[in-house]
Amino acid sequence: MKFRSFRLRIALLSATLAGAALVGFGVVAWGLIYDAKVKRLDARLENQVRRLVRPRPQDWWQSFDAAFRAN
């Protein structure tokens, strides 16, 4: 199919370029949002693991027991 109209060719080219630009920006935005969400999830998991593996003193639970008995 051969387009003879210059206006039609320019309009199709413009629509194609605009669509490609929108798709490109969408892909970049999706990638940035995905990366931010993964980093936030990693930070939350790392924070939870750090709290769980933190060394505790030997009398850790005894201090809770003493605090409950004091009340």
CA distances from 51 to 6, 7, 54 (A): 67, 66, 5
- The CA distance from 57 to 37, in Å, is 35
- The three-class DSSP label of residue 25 is helix
- What is the average pLDDT score of the chain? 90
- The CA distance from 35 to 43, in Å, is 12
* pLDDT band at residue 38 under the 50/70/90 scheme: very high
- pTM tops 0.85: no
Give the pair of three-digit tokens for residue 46.
Answer: 């790392």
The stretches of 1-71 forming alpha helices (DSSP H) are: 6-52, 60-70
